Amino acid sequence: PSPRSCQPHGANEEALRYEIEELKQKDLALDQEIAQLLSEGYSLEELEKHISLLHEYNDIKDAGQMLLGKLAVIRGVTTKQLYPEYDLELSD
């Protein structure tokens, strides 16, 4: 049996009510954040494009990190030691 099935029925319902309330609060906070950005002149299309570009950037960065890791293993060094060779900052 799962841990949840061992809980009394009331406790499980209370946990679900709490989780639903947390999700409602997060939804409200996101709606407020969107309204704030819209009031600052941003459009939904612009925000969606920005998010899409951030995802693309993160995917490319992850691929670069993976390649640096493999190169570091081949050379027997740490990835940190490769950063100066490729003019990378540790914050990159």
pLDDT digits (tens, 9 = 90+) for 24-75: 999 999 999 989 988 999 888 888 898 999 999 999 999 999 999 999 999 9
Q: Answer yes or no: is pLDDT of 11 > 80.
A: no
For the entire predicted model, the pTM comes to 0.54
The tokens of 15 are what? 């946990």
Reference 70, options 58, 61, 82, 54; nearest CA is 82
> Which amino acid appears at position 20 of this protein?
I
54 contacts 62 by C-beta, under 8 angstroms: no
pLDDT at 37: 87
pLDDT at 92: 64
pLDDT at 3: 53
